């Protein structure tokens, strides 16, 4: 084992994806990141897949064969520092996943946040509100697409035109061709915080369900048009990468087309960097389902050849589409109560790794919202309705939780939090500081690449901020520089790096 690892390390350190990365999500309204009943998995509230409880042993793959640590860690990442006494035992971690056969002393991790272009309306949450000192990557959701693959703004006012009442929007007085809106604000954040990398997320739940990806990926011409158009938006708007959010390919043919789409995007990004003599790796990430009946259709290993990071949507495991209450973002199942844990994050992470995806490319998703059930007696029990919510029925943002009169509980075995009001019989499943710290521990023990959050406006401020807790607990964050040079942008304030 040791000899085989030593022999491959020099090759691994040459990996083109050695630079730590970012992530992805859904559509143009708040409910876009909320999937419809029966769909599990994007960075928004509402993605859930119907299915029964899974009794999953985290130490085994889906074919019931023991996990091979050497298989998972055969590739090295230049962000990993090997000690002189690097090789350790493979006795296994407390989660059941294999202990790496070398000691990873320092793994700069990603702390990613999704930022929506509709949040400026409903939540009055704008780019200056982002806790940039705690975030490594920001994913901007969402860009729309036409059936021919042409990428376009889903809200030109929010994206490009809105003016802000502060000095950050003073560019428009010069008489030049300047961009405003969130695009201007995000570029300003990049300029002032060089560690912040931004990605443009394309698609999402709503645009996927409108059937836009299928025609846009059906042939080589449409895929090339998609890739060229996406990179053009990146270059015009000043982003560091692309996040593709197709929910979801449903057939073998569509899965193959998804691989070819990612290949076209990767090639277009690299060609853009080469054209401008930029020694910079533009990022390509995907929003990935945590539902087995979805990801088992995908050609994960083939996709992985072009993807820098996977944003695994490990939430929306339970909701209004279910007959019983349940945890919506648990790490492990509860063997004695399968109706309460119909899915688990550990099952998804284990399956992705068994498919050949390396731990440092997997990003664990955390929801900044809770799902409610009314007239409920407990977890795994039947309920009647979902009650009110912050902006829509059945969904409370984390900043509004726990609800008044409720008592909160933490299941240290499932790694899940919920609250319950005995008078109103309202049960809400969500993450809090206790589960966030436990999830950070899971990320570290299993050498995952980091965490991501859906979505920014739902977090609390101060010591109870989940984004802050993950940043502090993961310790070493990816502070690599972003890109500020976009010589072809039509916007003066992007091309000249600001005013």
Tokens of 455: 């979505």
Q: What is the pLDDT along the chain (499 residues), one digit of tens a residue?
A: 333 333 333 333 333 323 233 323 333 333 344 433 333 443 333 333 332 222 222 222 223 333 332 222 222 232 322 222 222 223 334 444 444 433 345 689 999 999 999 999 989 999 999 999 999 999 999 999 998 999 999 999 999 999 987 644 544 444 579 999 999 999 999 999 999 999 999 999 999 999 999 999 999 999 999 999 999 999 999 999 999 999 999 999 999 999 999 999 999 999 999 999 999 999 999 999 999 999 999 999 999 999 999 999 999 999 999 999 999 999 999 999 999 999 999 999 999 999 999 999 999 999 999 999 999 999 999 999 999 999 999 999 999 999 999 999 999 999 999 999 999 999 999 999 999 999 999 999 999 999 999 999 999 999 999 999 999 999 899 999 999 999 999 999 999 997 7
CB 206 within 8 A of CB 141: no
Residue 57, classified by CB atoms within 10 Å of its CB into exposed (0-12), middle (13-18) or buried (19+), is middle
* Cα dihedral: 112, 116, 117, 122 (round 10): -140
With tokens 């930022």, the residue in question is 115
Task: Tell which residue, 398, 26, 475, has the closest CA to residue 206.
Answer: 26
**What is the spatial distance between Cα 468 and Cα 260, in angstroms, rounded to a whole number?**
37
pLDDT of residue 165: 75
CA separation for the pair 483, 12 (Å, rounded): 25
* pLDDT confidence of residue 21: 30
Tokens of 499: 């005013």
Degrees, nearest 5: CA angle 96-102-106 = 95
- Tokens 């844990």 correspond to 341
Q: Copy the structure tokens of residue 206.
A: 């709503």
Q: How far apart are CA 65 and CA 59, in angstroms?
A: 9
Which of 184, 247, 455, 473 is an active site residue? Answer: 247
Q: Do 114 and 27 touch, CB atoms closer than 8 A? A: no
The number of residues in the chain equals 499
What is the distance between the alpha carbons of residues 132 and 456, in angstroms, rounded to a whole number? Answer: 11
Fold of 17-47+105-348+357-368+431-495: TIM Barrel (3.20.20)
Question: pTM here?
Answer: 0.81
Give the chain's end-to-end CA distance (angstroms, integer).
Answer: 56
Return d(Cα 327, Cα 317) in angstroms, integer.
7
Cα 201–Cα 207–Cα 209 angle in degrees, nearest 5: 130
- Structure token digits, residue 374: 């009314």
Extract the runs of DSSP E, i.e. beta strands, from 69-168. 82-87, 102-104, 110-116, 137-145, 151-153
Per-domain boundaries in the chain: 17-47+105-348+357-368+431-495
CA-CA-CA-CA torsion sign (463, 465, 467, 473): positive
Residue 304 and residue 354: Cα distance in Å, rounded?
A: 13
**Distance from C-alpha of 357 to C-alpha of 308, rounded to nearest angstrom:** 11
- For 260, counting Cβ atoms within 10 Å of its Cβ (0-12 exposed, 13-18 middle, 19+ buried), the class is middle
Give buried/exposed letters for 277-289 (b at 16+ CB in 10 A, else e): eeebbbbbbbbbb
What is the rounded distance in angstroms from the CA atom of residue 103 to the CA atom of residue 28?
A: 43
* Kind of pairing between the strands at 283-289 and 241-245: parallel
Q: How far apart are CA 44 and CA 67, in angstroms?
A: 31
Q: Give CA angle at 55 (49, 58), nearest 5°.
A: 100
Partners of 420 in beta bridges: 407, 427
Q: How far is CA 14 from CA 11, 98, 229, 289, in A?
A: 5, 24, 30, 29
pLDDT, residue 317, reads: 98
Identify the burial level of 211 via C-beta atoms within 10 angstroms of its C-beta, where 0-12 means exposed, 13-18 middle and 19 or more buried.
exposed
Does residue 253 have an active-site annotation? no
**Strand, helix or coil for residue 40:** strand
pLDDT for position 79: 33
Written as six digits, the tokens of 236 are 């015009």
Tokens of 190: 């990049």
């Amino acid at each position: 084992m040791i000899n085989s690892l030593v022999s491959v390390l020099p090759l691994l350190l040459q990996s083109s994806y050695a630079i730590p990365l970012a992530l992805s999500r859904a559509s143009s309204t708040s409910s876009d990141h909320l999937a419809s009943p029966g769909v599990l998995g994007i960075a928004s509230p509402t993605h859930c897949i119907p299915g029964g409880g899974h009794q999953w042993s985290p130490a085994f793959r889906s074919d019931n064969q023991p996990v091979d640590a050497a298989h998972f860690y055969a590739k090295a990442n230049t962000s990993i520092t090997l000690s002189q006494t690097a090789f350790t035992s493979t006795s296994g971690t407390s989660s059941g996943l294999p202990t790496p056969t070398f000691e990873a002393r320092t793994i700069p991790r990603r702390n990613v946040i999704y930022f929506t272009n509709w949040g400026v309306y409903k939540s009055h949450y704008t780019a200056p509100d982002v806790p940039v000192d705690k975030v490594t990557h920001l994913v901007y959701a969402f860009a729309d697409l036409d059936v021919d693959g042409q990428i376009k703004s889903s809200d030109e006012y929010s994206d490009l035109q809105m003016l802000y009442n502060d000095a950050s929007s003073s560019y428009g007085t010069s008489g030049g061709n300047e961009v405003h809106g969130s695009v201007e604000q995000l570029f300003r954040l990049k300029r002032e915080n060089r560690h912040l990398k931004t990605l443009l997320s394309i698609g999402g739940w709503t645009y996927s369900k409108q059937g836009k990806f299928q025609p846009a990926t059906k042939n080589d011409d449409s895929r090339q048009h998609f890739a060229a158009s996406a990179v053009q938006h990146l270059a015009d708007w000043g982003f560091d990468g692309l996040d593709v959010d197709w929910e979801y390919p449903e057939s073998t043919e569509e899965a193959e087309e998804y691989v070819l789409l990612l290949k076209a995007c990767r090639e277009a990004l690299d060609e853009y960097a080469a054209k401008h003599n930029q020694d910079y790796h533009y990022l390509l990430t995907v929003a990935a389902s945590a539902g087995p009946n979805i990801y088992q259709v995908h050609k994960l290993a083939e996709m992985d050849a072009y993807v820098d990071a996977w944003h695994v949507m490990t939430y929306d495991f339970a909701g209004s589409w279910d007959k019983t209450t349940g945890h919506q973002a648990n790490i492990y199942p509860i063997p004695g109560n399968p109706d309460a844990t119909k899915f688990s994050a550990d099952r998804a992470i284990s399956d992705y790794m068994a498919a050949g995806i390396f731990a440092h490319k997997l990003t664990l998703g955390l929801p900044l919202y809770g799902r409610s059930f009314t007239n409920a007696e407990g977890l795994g029990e039947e309920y009647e309705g979902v009650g009110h919510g912050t902006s829509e029925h059945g969904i409370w943002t984390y900043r509004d939780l726990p609800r008044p009169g409720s008592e909160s509980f933490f299941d240290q075995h499932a790694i899940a939090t919920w609250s319950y009001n005995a008078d109103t019989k309202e049960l809400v499943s969500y993450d809090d500081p206790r589960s966030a710290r436990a999830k950070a521990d899971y990320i570290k023990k299993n050498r995952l690449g980091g965490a991501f959050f859906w979505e920014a406006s739902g977090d609390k401020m101060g010591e109870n901020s989940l984004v802050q807790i993950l940043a502090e607990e993961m310790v070493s964050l990816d502070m690599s520089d972003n890109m500020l040079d976009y010589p072809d942008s039509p916007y003066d304030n992007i091309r000249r790096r600001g005013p």
